């Protein structure tokens, strides 16, 4: 019997549950052992603010962010060595140009040797946002930029330039028990309403894929097309915050019927065919530790409507970051980034990456933990309101902060409170706290870094804390409750 026939008699499908990873370890880093007591002492020293906790002492998993925390591939490490540190038009810049053209479409990166640049690289996403919105801000007064959910730095950069940042979250996002698969969508009815009333005040429409502020939920191709049609109708440029473009494309392939047979690369091309430009942090789906960018389609609405802004962008960049041909990046970073962009659209990578995050969410769910469902592409969100249901924990007790402190001290895992403290605010006049609608602790999973065993261990640790939730103490804010972006700066103490 031929080997092929023998194989055909073996059950192959069943193996899907225990599929091997599509890569193997090339190099690993051993952790330094620390005890729970040592961590607790250090955490108290830094005022229970996990941002100030030395990462060297994290013996478990670090979920503070998935931004710039990726494990690079051996190809990327090799590419670092070929970095060209020339002061203008380094080798990597042209490699990046080829790669951006290949992934997003040729018109997003014109060859600057042949004319004016329409692609600008920055050291991070927020630097690209600052450039864009400070230029847009000069166009007039009373402007509004609507979005399906502005990321916090995007929001801050827009408002810092006197423009109003409006979030039109999908109504499905707040519906309890909704099984909608594209909760990241923009509320198209409210967008229509806004445009009917004030289209002349809208310099850009923004869509964030995936919707990081909205629970990391994906946006459908249908929704993207609807926004694009509306933008065209009103002659407004349509921009994408593209940080997780590959992960969003994976969700479109899995959950939108028309795209089940389309390759990820073609889905990405299709998304960006609808847009006029995008900003991006390459620390997410650039599979890199550093990098950002602003890209305007050469024949898109932005380039046509605001040609002078592209000139201004070049001036801005030279003053603040460097020549457009290296942006804020070293030549080796550009090489690592160009190489990372090749890997990120591979289906086997995305199947594994998002599969891992989904399985992490499922594991928590199986343990009876209240997580936001469906799980998004890069993080699992624990709903702290449900977590503390039936206990005495009140909003002003900041139980999310207590939880992250306990998880880090006891088990060595670092997660991030994104709820009543991070998104809430204190009014010194009325001495009152204002609480946001959502109250999460986020576990953002770094790319290619952890194995199933690591994440299982975290789910168990969370379950142990959940079982002991009646005993968890509130915290008092001992410093910084009135500050902006306070969760990065504040200090806390457990209440006696
Ligand atoms: C991370 C992020 C940004 C900002 O990028 P940085 O590189 O961190 O400055 C903007 N938008 C979204 C959706 C992000 O996730």
Tell me the HSE value of 433 on the side-chain side, using a 13 A CA sphere: 19
Strands 491-494 and 475-479: antiparallel
| Predicted local confidence at residue 17, as pLDDT | 63
Find the 444 Cα to ligand 1 centroid distance in Å. Answer: 13
Which of 123, 182, 26, 113 is closest to 327 using CA atoms? 123
Residues with CB under 6 A from ligand 1: 67, 124-126, 151, 153-154, 208, 212, 241, 243, 281, 283-284, 292
Report in angstroms the alpha-carbon separations of 132 from 278, 294, 307: 10, 8, 13
- Which domains does the chain possess? 31-60+346-494 (3.90.1150.10), 75-343 (3.40.640.10)
| CA separation for the pair 153, 208 (Å, rounded) | 12
- Which residue from 283, 327, 444 has its CB within 8 A of the most atoms of ligand 1, so it is best to mutate? 283
Closest residue to atom 1 of ligand 1, CA basis: 281
- Which residue from 132, 154, 281 has its CB within 8 A of the most atoms of ligand 1, so it is best to mutate? 281
Find the 153 Cα to ligand 1 centroid distance in Å. Answer: 7
Closest residue to atom 8 of ligand 1, CA basis: 125
| Predicted local confidence at residue 178, as pLDDT | 86
What confidence tens digit (pLDDT) does each residue in 307-334 have? 999 999 999 999 999 999 999 999 999 9
Q: Give, for all 496 residues of the chain, the pLDDT tens digit.
A: 799 999 888 877 655 566 789 999 999 999 999 999 999 999 999 999 999 999 999 999 999 999 999 999 999 999 999 999 999 999 999 999 999 999 999 999 999 888 889 999 999 999 999 999 999 999 999 999 999 999 989 999 999 999 999 999 999 988 888 889 999 999 999 999 999 999 999 999 999 999 988 888 999 999 999 999 999 999 999 999 999 999 999 999 999 999 999 999 999 999 999 999 999 999 999 999 999 999 999 999 999 999 999 999 999 999 999 999 999 999 999 999 999 999 999 999 999 999 999 999 999 999 999 999 889 899 999 999 999 999 999 999 999 999 999 999 999 999 999 999 998 999 999 999 999 888 999 999 999 999 999 999 999 999 999 999 999 999 999 999 999 889 999 999 999 8
| Predicted local confidence at residue 16, as pLDDT | 55
Find the 67 Cα to ligand 1 centroid distance in Å. Answer: 8
Find the 129 Cα to ligand 1 centroid distance in Å. Answer: 9
What confidence tens digit (pLDDT) does each residue in 278-294 have? 999 999 999 999 999 99
Q: Which two tokens stand for residue 146?
A: 């609507």
Find the 212 Cα to ligand 1 centroid distance in Å. Answer: 9
426 DSSP β-pair partners: 433
3-state secondary structure of 149: coil
Burial code (b: 16+ CB inside 10 Å, e: under 16) for 291-330 equals: bbbbbbbbebbbbeebeebbeebbebbeeebbbbbbbbbb
Find the 484 Cα to ligand 1 centroid distance in Å. Answer: 18
Neighbouring CB atoms inside 10 A of 227's CB total 26
| Predicted local confidence at residue 14, as pLDDT | 58
| Predicted local confidence at residue 215, as pLDDT | 84
| Predicted local confidence at residue 173, as pLDDT | 86
């Amino acid at each position: 019997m031929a080997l092929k026939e023998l194989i055909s008699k073996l059950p192959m499908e069943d193996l899907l549950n225990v599929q091997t990873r599509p890569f193997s370890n090339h190099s690993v880093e051993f952790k330094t052992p620390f005890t729970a007591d040592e961590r607790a002492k250090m955490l108290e020293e830094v005022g229970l603010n996990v941002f100030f906790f030395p990462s060297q002492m994290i013996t478990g998993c670090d979920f503070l962010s998935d931004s710039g925390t990726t494990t690079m591939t051996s190809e990327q490490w090799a590419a670092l060595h070929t970095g060209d540190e020339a002061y203008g038009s380094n080798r990597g810049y042209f490699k990046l140009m080829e790669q951006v053209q290949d992934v997003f479409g040729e018109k997003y990166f014109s060859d600057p040797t042949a004319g004016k640049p329409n692609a600008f690289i920055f050291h991070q996403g927020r630097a690209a946002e600052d450039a864009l919105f400070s230029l847009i801000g000069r166009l007039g007064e009373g402007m509004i930029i609507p979005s399906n959910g502005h990321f916090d730095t995007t929001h801050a950069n827009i408002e810092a330039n006197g423009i109003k940042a409006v979030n039109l979250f999908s109504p499905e996002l707040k519906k309890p028990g909704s099984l909608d698969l594209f909760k990241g969508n923009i509320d198209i009815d409210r967008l229509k309403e806004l445009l009917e009333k004030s289209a002349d005040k809208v310099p850009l429409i923004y869509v964030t894929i995936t919707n990081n502020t909205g629970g990391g939920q994906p946006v459908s191709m249908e929704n993207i097309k609807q926004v694009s049609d509306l933008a065209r109708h009103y002659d407004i440029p349509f921009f994408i915050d593209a940080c997780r473009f590959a992960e969003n494309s994976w969700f479109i392939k899995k959950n939108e019927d028309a795209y089940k047979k389309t390759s990820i690369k073609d889905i990405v091309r299709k998304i960006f065919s609808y847009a006029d430009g995008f900003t991006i942090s390459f620390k997410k789906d650039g599979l890199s530790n550093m990098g950002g960018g602003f890209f305007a389609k050469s024949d898109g609405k932005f380039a046509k409507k605001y040609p002078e802004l592209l000139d201004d962008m070049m001036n801005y960049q030279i003053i603040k970051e460097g020549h457009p041909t290296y942006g804020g990046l070293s030549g080796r970073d550009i090489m690592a980034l160009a190489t990372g962009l090749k890997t990120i659209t591979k289906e086997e990578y995305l199947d594994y990456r998002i599969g891992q995050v989904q399985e992490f969410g499922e594991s928590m769910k199986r343990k009876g933990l209240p997580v936001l469902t469906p799980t998004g592409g890069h993080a699992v969100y624990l709903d702290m309101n449900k977590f503390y249901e039936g206990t005495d924990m009140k909003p002003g007790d900041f139980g999310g902060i207590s939880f992250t402190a306990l998880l880090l001290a006891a088990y060595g895992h670092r997660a991030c409170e994104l709820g009543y403290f991070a998104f809430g605010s204190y009014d010194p006049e009325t001495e009152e706290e204002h609480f946001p609608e959502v109250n999460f602790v986020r576990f953002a999973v770094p790319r290619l870094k952890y194995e199933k065993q690591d994440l299982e261990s975290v789910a168990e640790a969370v379950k142990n804390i959940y079982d002991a939730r009646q005993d968890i103490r509130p915290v008092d804010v001992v410093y910084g409750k009135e500050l902006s972006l306070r969760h990065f700066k504040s200090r806390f103490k457990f209440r006696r």
